[in-house]
Amino acid sequence: MANSNMAIVAILLASLASAQDLTDPGGSGVCGHAGLKEHQELPSKCDIDEYVGSHVIFEDDFTRVWNFTLLPGEMTSMHIHNYDYSFLASEPSKLAVWGGDGKYLFSFDATGTMSFVVSGEVLQPANGVDLPWTVPRIHAAKNVGTGIYRELLFESKTTTNKTSDEVKTMKKAFGMTTKSEL
């Protein structure tokens, strides 16, 4: 019995050691290189991580909040979005985006706020917004503007892949009210 308990403890410790510490700004890998131009394909395949921002500044059972900062010419890791999210660009800039296959997809002026819902392998804009391009869940971005880019990104752990009725039921179970009930 003692040996099996020790084995379980060893497995748990190993899994904790291998889990990503998303609060560590140094944990995210960089995809591409400094000389990569806006419309070029990535020169090599990038590892995929869950760093959807620079580092986590708050997390609980319902929400994860990221600080996301890119200096001019700086690029993110190739990352995957596993949760519905919203962002607020507090210091806008122009960003270029590459897909998981390394192909350049589009560039855009990242300004204001926007929300996305995970839908299969793509991110659908929320609130009836239409975009001229498809946003894949796996992508990397580079600040191709002239200023620092800063955003706060809010991931929703509770609404991802849930219908509106499921969200309402869940909120009621937690004693929360929706706008329509006020």
User: Mind listing the domains of the chain with CATH numbers?
Assistant: 23-174 (2.60.120.10)
- Amino acid symbol at 172: K
Q: Can you tell me the distance from the alpha carbon of 12 to that of 168, in angstroms, rounded to the nearest whole number? A: 35
Q: Which residues of 32-51 are buried (b: 16+ CB within 10 A; e: fewer)?
A: beeebeeeeebeeebebbbb
Q: What is the pLDDT of residue 55?
A: 92
Encoded tokens for 107:
């560039």
Beta strands (DSSP E) in 100-156 are: 104-119, 122-125, 135-136, 138-143, 149-156
Q: What is the pLDDT of residue 123?
A: 95
**Confidence (pTM):** 0.75
**pLDDT tier at 18, thresholds 50, 70, 90:** very low
Q: Tell me the per-residue pLDDT of 83-123, one tens digit each, with 9 for 90 and over.
A: 999 999 999 999 999 999 999 999 999 999 999 999 999 99
Give percent above pLDDT 90 in the chain.
Answer: 57
CA nearest 53: which of 17, 19, 90, 102?
90
Q: Tell me the per-residue pLDDT of 150-180, one tens digit each, with 9 for 90 and over.
A: 999 999 998 876 666 665 665 566 666 655 5
